[in-house]
Amino acid sequence: MRNDLILEDTTLRDGEQSPGVAFSKQTKLAIFDALVAAGVGWIEAGIAVMGGEELATLEAMLERKNEATLVGWNRGVKADVKQTIDLGFQAVHIGLPASKLHLKSSVRGKSRGWLIENATELIKYAKDRGVFVSVSAEDAGRTELSFLQEYAGKVHEAGADRLRLSDTIGIMTPEQYGEKIGAVAAACDIDLMCHTHNDFGLAVANTIAGLKAGARYFHCTVNAIGERAGMSDIAQVVFTLKYLYGYDLGVDGRELKRASALVAEACGHPPPPWHPIVGENVFSHESGIHVNGMLRNKKTFEPFPAEAAAGERRFVIGKHSGRSTLAYYLEQRGVQASDEVLQTCLERVRQLSIDKAGAVSTDELHGIYREVAAP
């Protein structure tokens, strides 16, 4: 893995392309603020050619372009690229398909010869304007490796700063994605970027595989939002790199939790409680709590400190609780219960949890105790 990795968040572009999601100017700027506060240095901001409020939002972001490198996304059309550069972007991305299937369907049956010629012209135009240029190989999963290597060489020769290998429909395994990244990296000295979709739940694993194979840049979104099944989750990749690979990107996990809440509200869909890193249950415990004060030390069963992700450690009373859990919560009410009483309470707590299909509150536990211990 390289020692100069760069995370580029695309919540405001690919993330917003989640079906049914539309961010207002105010919302996009709030998410932008949260990403900057977290220490995200590169942000794919949006699409200028959309015009309207999107254009006004991009103009507002560009007033603060010293806070992060802003990337403007474009179709493979010169007018789009010109508009984005004229707007003030110092980094542009040009989306172009690489597979024969996508060339046939998205650009009216154009050939790969046309693709290379068009990419070369657009890259040279943008470089002549003095900006950072990124270009895609969309649908890399269904593109022959030999052509990806040829394409990488051509766009590198034209002056592109970066090539994005996009698993556009999320069909590659980590082994396949890593192999393609590694083979292209071996054939051409251009910075590569991971862009992985989550249709089979492999986006994070594919991103890590791509970085291990030599990619420098990678895309993520907050809460893994994006087209269809979403993309690689920013918090998951940041924490995986830090705690499993020893690579600290300098991104503040506590601020990512705040960004997660903003995006969840804007999308109208909170992440499920078991969503890694930012989910409500990540630091919640119900089973396996031991005696002699071990309830307070349940953090020994956590893979990283709750504080690192602004997580709230909770101890839940339910079907899988033991007597020590009940004893602890009863002690908080000034109650010292015998083992016999605790066992009876436990049986009732477990049945109540099944009946209500959820956790039992401390008030409900205390009520059960009063019934069991009543003379």
- What DSSP string runs through 207-252? HHHHHHTT--EEEEBGGG--STT-B-BHHHHHHHHHHHS-------
- Residue 297: pLDDT above 70? no
Dmax over CA atoms of the chain, in Å, equals 89
- Give pLDDT, residue 292: 45
- Give pLDDT, residue 305: 87
Confidence class for position 149, pLDDT limits 50, 70, 90: very high
The angle formed by the CA atoms of residues 257, 22 and 87, to the nearest 5 degrees, is 95
Complete DSSP assignment for 264-307: HHHHT-PPPTT-TTTSTTTTEE-S---STTGGGGGGGGSSS-GG
- For 20, counting Cβ atoms within 10 Å of its Cβ (0-12 exposed, 13-18 middle, 19+ buried), the class is exposed
- Residue 92: pLDDT above 70? yes
- Give pLDDT, residue 296: 53
C-alpha–C-alpha distance, residues 240 and 43, integer Å = 20
Domain 6-267 has CATH 3.20.20.70: yes
352, 318 in Cβ contact below 8 A? no
- Residue 138: pLDDT above 90? yes
- Residue 295: pLDDT above 80? no
Within 13 Å and on the Cβ side, how many CA atoms surround 10?
Answer: 28
Count the Cβ atoms, other than its own, within 10 Å of residue 7.
23
More confident residue, 102 or 163: 163
230, 203 in Cβ contact below 8 A? yes
Residues 6 or more apart whose CB falls under 8 angstroms from that of 231 comprise: 10, 14, 15, 195, 196, 197, 198, 203, 219, 220, 221, 224, 225
Within 13 Å and on the Cβ side, how many CA atoms surround 231?
Answer: 27
Tens-digit pLDDT profile for residues 175-222: 999 999 999 999 999 999 999 999 999 999 999 999 999 999 999 999
- Give pLDDT, residue 291: 42
60, 32 in Cβ contact below 8 A? no
Domains of the chain, residue spans: 6-267, 284-373
pTM given for the model: 0.88
Count the Cβ atoms, other than its own, within 10 Å of residue 62.
15
- Give pLDDT, residue 299: 55
C-alpha–C-alpha distance, residues 97 and 75, integer Å = 10
Tens-digit pLDDT profile for residues 3-40: 999 999 999 999 999 999 999 999 999 999 999 999 99
Across the range 216-229, mean pLDDT stands at 98
**Closest to 129 measured CA to CA, from 161, 164, 81:** 81
For the ranges 190-199, 204-213, 247-256, 286-295, the lowest mean pLDDT is seen at 286-295
Mean pLDDT, the chain, whole residue set:
92
Residue labelled with tokens 């990806």: 148
46, 52 in Cβ contact below 8 A? no
